Amino acid sequence: MLRSESSRLEAMNSTKLRIFSLATVLAAFGLVGCGSIESAAQDDCTSIGWQIGSKGYEECYKARLYERKLDYSLPPGDKPSPSLI
């Protein structure tokens, strides 16, 4: 392999590595911003006036947690597709 070909390959690998690194960082920031299903269910119940620890809050929390888990689960028989990252 010639020296110029080698440097071109290194430049291409470096560019791919930079793009991959940037995509990984962006994906990590995206996931951090989402929060958790549990905290979202808690926010739902406290935003409508339930006090944490009350019986009504506990029922609300369990119901919202169940609904959110259903929302984010795969449909029956559906297989997860491979990630592009």
The pLDDT tens digits for 2-59 are: 555 555 556 556 676 666 665 665 555 555 545 789 999 999 999 999 999 999 999 9
pLDDT bracket for residue 61 (50, 70, 90)? very high
Q: How far apart are CA 64 and CA 37, in angstroms?
A: 9
Q: How far apart are CA 60 and CA 50, in angstroms?
A: 8
